[in-house]
Amino acid sequence: MPSLFSALGQIAGATVDAVFSEGFALQPMAPPAAASGQRPNVNLRMAASTARPQIPFDGTYVEPGELMNAHGRTKADSTTHWIAGAKAMVDVAVTALPQRPMERDRIIRLDTGAVFEVAKVLPGDYGRLRIFLVDALQRPEDPR
């Protein structure tokens, strides 16, 4: 039996979803099929997974902007220039997804059609998952 806090958390999560959530689709991805007797190559471009189906789900999209730096192994982060970016994230109830998304799965924001790649999945409190995203769309050609 779930704890009282757990049950309350789920109810609160459902309320938040009812107000803030929107439709998404999770497209699981996998390395391209390999010839028989060979391992799938994890470094090649991913293709839609045949083992895991596409799943629609509802979640809350959050996109706080931030100034960031690229990381190096031997030098300080401030060695290279600042990047202005947004840490896009979808906050979902664990129960909204029959399976946990994996890194490099695709997530489509149905409202805008924007396509994202899953960067990492972190559990939140009371049955929530935070799926951090990276933008998978190609930028338009815009020479300046």
Partner 1 sequence: MSLIRAACRLQAIEALNSDPVIDGMVRGRVYDSRISAFDHRDPVPTILVTTEETKGEAWSHQNGGAPFGLVCDLVLEIAMNSVATMQINGMADPVEAIGYAATDAELEADLDLLEERAVEILTRGETAAAQLLRSAVVKRVPHVASSRFATDQTGEKFAVHLVTLRIELFTPEDENPFAVPSGPYALLPEPLRTIAAASDPDGLPRSICDRLIARLAPLPAPSEPAPFSGADMILAPQVLDADDAPDRAADIAAGRTIAIAANTPQ
Closest CA to 44 of 52, 57, 35: 35
Instruction: Report how far residue 97's alpha carbon sits from residue 6's, in angstroms, rounded to the nearest whole number.
Output: 18
Neighbour count for residue 73 (Cβ, 10 Å): 4
Q: Residue 78 Cβ, how far from partner 1 at the closest point, in Å? A: 18
Closer to partner 1 by Cβ: residue 63 or 120: 120
Distances, alpha carbon 63 to alpha carbons 91, 114, 126, in Å: 11, 13, 21
- Category of 15 on φ-ψ map: left (φ > 0), alpha (ψ -120 to 50) or beta: alpha
The residues of the shown chain that bind partner 1, judged by CB under 8 A, are 28, 34-35, 38-45, 51-52, 73-74, 99-100, 102-104, 119-121, 134
Q: Residue 67 Cβ, how far from partner 1 at the closest point, in Å? A: 19
Closer to partner 1 by Cβ: residue 7 or 122: 122
Q: Residue 13 Cβ, how far from partner 1 at the closest point, in Å? A: 20
Closer to partner 1 by Cβ: residue 2 or 32: 32
Take residue 74 and report the two structure tokens written for it: 């031997």
Q: Residue 133 Cβ, how far from partner 1 at the closest point, in Å? A: 11
Closer to partner 1 by Cβ: residue 28 or 59: 28
